[in-house]
């Protein structure tokens, strides 16, 4: 294996109160000490487990939910919705000795009381520093006794993991003790979202993932964290199936953002609409294999345009790594930090091969969001809306080439919810007036109108409906 690379120096953690941690701790450095022989490796996983187990924790999140009663009794004024406490269980990994824990976002989402139980059965209250639904990661902070340094798992975000490598999945799924399963890496860079907008390309493994293992550790034979277990695809509904883990490189980006005081992860964008190369396209371009991402359209002044990409170009490699398809290219660019240089190997439409350099940067927030919640007697009352921009489209997982408009970012109880408006809808027209900005929508809904004719765009299709005032 290659020699360890220098890791990022100690980061200062900015808390919600605006104060920094008294003694920030750096990430642990991965150990590169594989078993001395194949026989030693096959005899027992105990040495690896003993080193990693103290850093794997159980996480419970409690939330108060309203329990609905039978509508039949409600008609007679009997029974009211009652509050009950729901609890979810999952796993987590300690990645910094000062109490930084990473888990899946879906484990703690909506949690009002989060508890982290260590391997030694001690329990600590935790608070969320950063939740990132796009990668399904959440970073927690627990306050450990002064001077104590928790056991951690070093993150190995190198690119030397290979299909066929032995791995262990460790979790504390039920709060009664840890589970350890073994398997191999069965695929790398597996993108389950065909648009590639999810922000992660998963490590696929056949190691059994037990219910509640979400947020647990996927480790290699060095005892280093190579991924955070996220979900499993299983026809039987049991732990046997195909497991998926978020790679350590993505985990590191989210954790660095959290401990640096960030409230959201800034992801670079390509600034181009691309499509995967088909067999027919590969033949016409003289490519041996149907792989790569063809540029179909460029956002004016975007990173791809400034790098010199043109419509019809096929991106074959990014930073020396082969690009499988359009989703793979999006992921490779997104996994950089803003300001990084990304080296692209490109096949031009005329058959020439060129190397271009793209500067990674966040999608522009132009026009400004101008976020507002619509009120009054109209179908949009209760909806929060923003101006559509590449940054907003990227945040919502939409096509940045959708154009100007007003996006519904959330819907609370009220008329908007009643008429079926949803998060992600784009408002195109109200009573014959084209809506290009939040200001336009506010003006269009200000008057007293008996009938409302509304056109929205949802999933690329425009729908028009009429509502009574």
Q: How is residue 14 written in tokens?
A: 């900015």
114: which 2 tokens? 């989060």
CB 329 within 8 A of CB 274: yes
Q: Which of 60, 98, 106, 220 is labelled catalytic?
A: 106
Phi and psi (nearest 5°) for 431? 50, 45
d(CA 30, CA 53): 15
Reduced to 3 states (helix: H, G, I; strand: E, B; else coil), residue 396 is helix
Q: Which of 91, 200, 214, 389 is catalytic?
A: 214
Q: Which of 136, 325, 328, 394 is catalytic?
A: 136
- Locate 161 and state its tokens: 């993991």
Distances in Å between the alpha carbon of 449 and those of 416, 436, 445, 463? 16, 21, 8, 20
> How far apart, in whole angstroms, are the C-alpha atoms of residue 60 and residue 115?
5
203 Rama class: left (phi>0) / alpha (psi -120 to 50) / beta = beta
- Quote the DSSP letter at residue 20: B
Rounded CA separation 265/455 (Å): 33
Greatest CA separation for the chain: 80
Q: 421 with 411: CB under 8 angstroms?
A: yes
Collapsed DSSP state (helix, strand, coil) of residue 55: helix
Give yes or no: 214 in active site: yes
106 is catalytic: yes
Cβ burial, residue 271 (10 Å; 0-12/13-18/19+): buried
Measuring CA to CA, which residue among 117, 98, 250 is closest to residue 176?
A: 117
DSSP string, 232-272: EE-SSSSS-SEEEEEEHHHHHHHHHHHHTT-SS---B---E
Q: Is the peptide bond before 243 cis (omega within 30 degrees of 0)?
A: no
* Cβ neighbours for 47, distance < 8 A, ≥ 6 positions apart: 35, 223
Give SS3 for 353: strand
* Three-state SS sequence of 106-127: HHHCCCCEEEEECCCCCEEEEE
136 is catalytic: yes
Which residues are known to be catalytic? 106, 136, 214
């Amino acid at each position: 294996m290659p020699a360890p690379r220098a890791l990022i120096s100690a980061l200062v953690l900015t808390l919600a109160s605006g104060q920094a941690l008294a003694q920030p701790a750096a990430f642990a450095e991965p150990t590169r000490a594989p078993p001395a022989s194949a026989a030693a490796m096959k005899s027992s996983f105990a040495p690896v487990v003993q080193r990693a187990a103290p850093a794997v924790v159980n996480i419970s999140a409690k939330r108060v939910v309203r329990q609905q009663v039978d509508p039949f009794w409600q008609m007679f004024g009997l029974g009211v919705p009652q509050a009950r406490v729901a609890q979810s269980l999952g796993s987590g990994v300690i990645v910094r000795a000062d109490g930084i824990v990473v888990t899946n976002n879906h484990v703690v989402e909506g949690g009002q009381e989060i508890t982290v139980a260590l391997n030694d059965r001690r329990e600590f209250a935790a608070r969320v520093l950063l939740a990132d639904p796009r990668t399904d990661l959440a970073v927690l902070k627990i306050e450990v006794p002064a001077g104590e340094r928790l056991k951690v798992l070093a993150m190995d975000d190198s690119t030397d993991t290979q299909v066929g490598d032995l791995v262990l999945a460790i979790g504390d799924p039920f709060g009664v003790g840890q589970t350890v399963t073994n398997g191999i890496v069965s695929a790398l860079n597996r993108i389950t979202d065909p648009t590639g907008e999810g922000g992660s390309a998963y490590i696929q493994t056949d190691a059994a993932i037990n219910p509640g293992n979400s947020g647990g550790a996927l480790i290699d034979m060095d005892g280093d964290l190579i991924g955070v277990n996220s979900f499993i695809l299983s026809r039987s509904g049991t732990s046997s199936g195909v497991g998926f883990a978020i790679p350590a490189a993505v985990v590191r980006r989210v954790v660095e953002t959290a401990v640096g005081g960030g409230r959201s992860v800034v992801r670079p964008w390509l600034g181009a609409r691309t499509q995967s190369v088909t067999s027919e396209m590969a033949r016409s371009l003289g490519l041996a294999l149907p792989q790569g991402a063809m540029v179909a359209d460029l956002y004016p002044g975007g990173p791809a345009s400034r790098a010199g990409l043109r419509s019809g170009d096929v991106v074959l490699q990014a930073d020396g790594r082969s690009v499988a398809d359009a989703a793979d290219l999006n992921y490779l660019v997104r996994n950089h930090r803003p300001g990084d240089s990304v080296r692209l190997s490109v096949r031009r439409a005329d058959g020439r091969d060129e190397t271009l350099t793209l500067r990674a940067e966040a999608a522009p927030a132009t026009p400004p969001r101008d976020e507002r919640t619509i009120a009054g007697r109209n179908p949009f009352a209760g909806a929060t809306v923003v101006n559509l921009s590449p940054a907003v489209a990227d945040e919502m997982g939409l096509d940045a080439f959708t154009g100007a408009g007003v996006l519904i970012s959330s819907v609370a109880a009220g008329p908007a919810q009643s008429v079926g408006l949803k998060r992600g809808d784009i408002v195109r027209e109200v009573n014959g007036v084209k809506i290009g900005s939040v200001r336009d929508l506010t003006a269009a809904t200000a008057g007293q109108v008996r009938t409302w004719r509304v056109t929205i765009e949802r999933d690329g299709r425009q729908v028009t409906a009429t509502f009574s005032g």
